[in-house]
């Protein structure tokens, strides 16, 4: 595969990933206004269980299938490549049957175990998704192995688009039947998305079937691997990836059970506990995901950049990319974290207007704490990308696992304190990401031997953010009584963004080289240089 094709493929998947991320984050806002915090409390635990089961059953398989298919095709063994796909598809079909059957027969026990029986219908509504997603992942892996990324990207966008459409429509139409049923309608959106995503990628496969057959006929006469050998090779690649991918879903699934149980331990009813969990996982957490759209795009550009420099043994370039990557991540994470912190309750009131005042203020207090996790989470993404580019993918997985252990212990202790209650889960999330971030930072310094310029990396971004925070806060405070809280919030965000961008250019916190890591960065840098706003 040529470098141009690789970059084109990465760009296609990257754009699809950003679209999916935006759709997923935006989806939660109208949904929370439809079913309120209580309904989100029934929706969120079932979705965490779904994410966990998908992670352990399918996370590593597209990559494993792509690797084996690509290897066979590189040797001209097209029949062998297609056999890998056929075996993988059968294996994924069995996985789909097993995971969907598991939930079908144990759903009632699962919701009782986590202490949220009203999540039963939401969990059952995800059974079709558990069946179809593994099948879809086999096709995605096959096309990626053929170095064709468009089918995977299209299926991802189709899946998320239909999830949003069906989820919101069903939640709305089922609302009169009660919040548990409405939440199940929202959950079924994932099943609808999986069904349509699978249909989409199947259509693409059958359109290309004729070319695939012609290719198979031109295959070399190399002996085919046995089915057992293929399965063993698939598992050897997929299992380590699945373990890494499962850490966050495991953490969130355990978290849901601990939070619900501990809140009921301190005399909250099941409904009250579900509502508080909905505020945390269904509403506040949604806003934490927005800044990740930008940091994810940066992380995706860091992996090939570091990999290329590492392959060429250009260690000076690795250090430059690392310094620039960390600094640009701070420029994204710092304003997002502090902006959400100072405007936590106004933003919650702006977006989740259909909830009662006490819910909005409680969610705002949760977001005020959770906002700091944005900084550490964005840094984790970039530092993980750097370590992956250096061929050290297990290091960030291990570090995140350490953070997850701290989160579980702290959630159990803090959530059981009446004065802290649900805020304990938010505090433990911040601590978990902080620990993982520090461990990743130490690992990056160790493996790249990079020394960071304290003024350029930390002081200049902090000065720029401080100016932004003060401007944003005063804008909100002095316009709230004149134009109302909602318009004041929007104005404060807009003014803050303009002031922050200006402060970055004035302080020299961002340079033309930093734009190399951003989409269309070169064009933006040239324009800013032309009007004298950007230094070299």
Pair (307, 427) in one structural domain: yes
At 146 the pLDDT is 83
| Residue carrying structure tokens 């249909």 | 199
Pair (446, 493) in one structural domain: yes
At 216 the pLDDT is 83
Into how many domains does the chain fold?
A: 2
Inside any domain, residue 206: yes
Inside any domain, residue 284: no
Which residues in the chain come in under a pLDDT of 50?
1-7
Inside any domain, residue 285: no
Inside any domain, residue 278: no
Inside any domain, residue 269: no
Pair (196, 88) in one structural domain: yes
Q: Which of 146, 175, 169 is nearest to 42 (CA)?
A: 175
Pair (252, 156) in one structural domain: yes
State which of 207, 238, 256 marks the end of a domain: 256
Pair (211, 304) in one structural domain: no
At 91 the pLDDT is 92
User: Alpha-carbon distance 401 to 252, whole Å?
Assistant: 12
Pair (367, 238) in one structural domain: no
At 307 the pLDDT is 78
Pair (301, 202) in one structural domain: no
User: Alpha-carbon distance 127 to 250, whole Å?
Assistant: 19
At 350 the pLDDT is 93
User: Alpha-carbon distance 521 to 472, whole Å?
Assistant: 27
Which pTM was predicted? 0.82
User: Alpha-carbon distance 248 to 161, whole Å?
Assistant: 24
At 4 the pLDDT is 44
Inside any domain, residue 274: no
State which of 203, 232, 256 marks the end of a domain: 256
Rounded alpha-carbon distances, angstroms, from residue 50 to 130, 191, 252, 466: 7, 11, 11, 40
Pull the structure tokens for residue 495.
Answer: 């003014």
Pair (195, 243) in one structural domain: yes
Inside any domain, residue 361: yes
Domain extent at residue 13: 1-256
Cβ atoms < 10 Å from Cβ of 34:
21
Query: CB–CB of 259/425 below 8 Å?
Result: yes
At 51 the pLDDT is 85
Pair (316, 235) in one structural domain: no
Inside any domain, residue 101: yes
Pair (250, 295) in one structural domain: no
Pair (232, 352) in one structural domain: no
Rounded alpha-carbon distances, angstroms, from residue 440 to 136, 311, 384, 457: 33, 21, 7, 17
Pair (195, 307) in one structural domain: no
């Amino acid at each position: 595969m040529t470098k141009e094709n690789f970059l084109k493929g990465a760009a296609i998947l990257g754009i699809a990933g950003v679209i999916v991320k935006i759709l997923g984050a935006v989806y939660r806002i109208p949904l929370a206004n439809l079913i309120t915090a209580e309904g989100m409390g029934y929706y969120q635990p079932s979705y965490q269980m779904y994410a966990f089961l998908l992670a352990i059953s399918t996370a590593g398989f597209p990559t494993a299938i792509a690797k084996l298919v690509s290897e066979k095709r590189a040797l001209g063994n097209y029949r062998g490549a297609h056999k890998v796909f056929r075996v993988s598809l059968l294996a994924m079909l069995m996985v789909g049957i097993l995971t969907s059957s598991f939930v079908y027969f144990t759903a009632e026990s699962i919701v009782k175990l986590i202490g949220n029986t009203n999540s039963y219908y939401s969990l059952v509504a995800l059974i079709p998704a558990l069946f179809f997603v593994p099948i879809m992942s086999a096709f995605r892996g096959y096309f990626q192995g053929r170095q064709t990324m468009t089918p995977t990207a299209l299926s991802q966008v189709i899946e998320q688009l239909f999830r949003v459409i069906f989820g919101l429509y069903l939640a709305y139409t089922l609302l009169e039947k009660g919040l548990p049923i409405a939440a199940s309608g929202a959950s079924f959106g994932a099943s609808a998305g999986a069904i349509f995503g699978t249909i989409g990628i199947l259509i693409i496969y059958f359109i290309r079937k004729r070319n695939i057959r012609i290719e198979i006929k031109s295959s070399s006469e190399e002996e085919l691997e046995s089915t057992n050998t293929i399965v063993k090779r698939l598992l050897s690649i997929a299992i380590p990836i699945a373990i890494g991918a499962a850490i966050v879903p495991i953490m969130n699934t355990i978290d849901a059970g601990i939070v619900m149980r501990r809140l009921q331990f301190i005399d909250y009813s099941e409904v009250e506990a579900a509502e508080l969990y909905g505020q945390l996982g269904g509403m506040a957490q949604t806003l934490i995901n927005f800044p990740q759209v930008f940091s994810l795009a940066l992380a995706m550009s860091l992996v090939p950049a570091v990999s290329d420099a590492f392959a060429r043994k250009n260690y000076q370039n690795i250090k430059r990319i690392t310094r620039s990557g960390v600094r640009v991540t701070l420029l994204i994470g710092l304003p997002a974290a502090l902006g959400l912190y100072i405007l936590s309750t106004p933003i919650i009131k702006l977006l989740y207007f259909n909830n009662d005042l006490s819910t909005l203020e409680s969610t705002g207090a949760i977001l005020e704490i959770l906002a700091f996790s944005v900084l550490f989470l964005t840094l984790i993404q970039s530092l993980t990308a750097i370590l992956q580019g250096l061929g050290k993918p297990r290091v960030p997985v291990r570090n995140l696992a350490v953070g997850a252990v701290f989160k579980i212990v702290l959630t159990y202790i803090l959530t059981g304190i009446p004065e802290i209650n649900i805020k304990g889960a938010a505090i433990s999330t911040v601590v978990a990401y902080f620990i993982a971030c520090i461990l990743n930072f130490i690992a990056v310094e160790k493996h790249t031997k990079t020394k960071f310029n304290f003024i350029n990396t930390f002081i200049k971004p902090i000065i720029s953010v401080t100016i932004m925070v003060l401007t944003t806060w005063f804008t909100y405070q002095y316009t709230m009584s004149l134009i109302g809280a909602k318009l004041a919030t929007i104005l404060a965000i807009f003014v803050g963004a303009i002031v922050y961008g200006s402060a970055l250019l004035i302080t020299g916190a961002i340079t033309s080289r930093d734009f190399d890591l951003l989409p269309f960065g070169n064009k933006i840098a040239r324009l800013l240089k032309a009007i004298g706003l950007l230094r070299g």
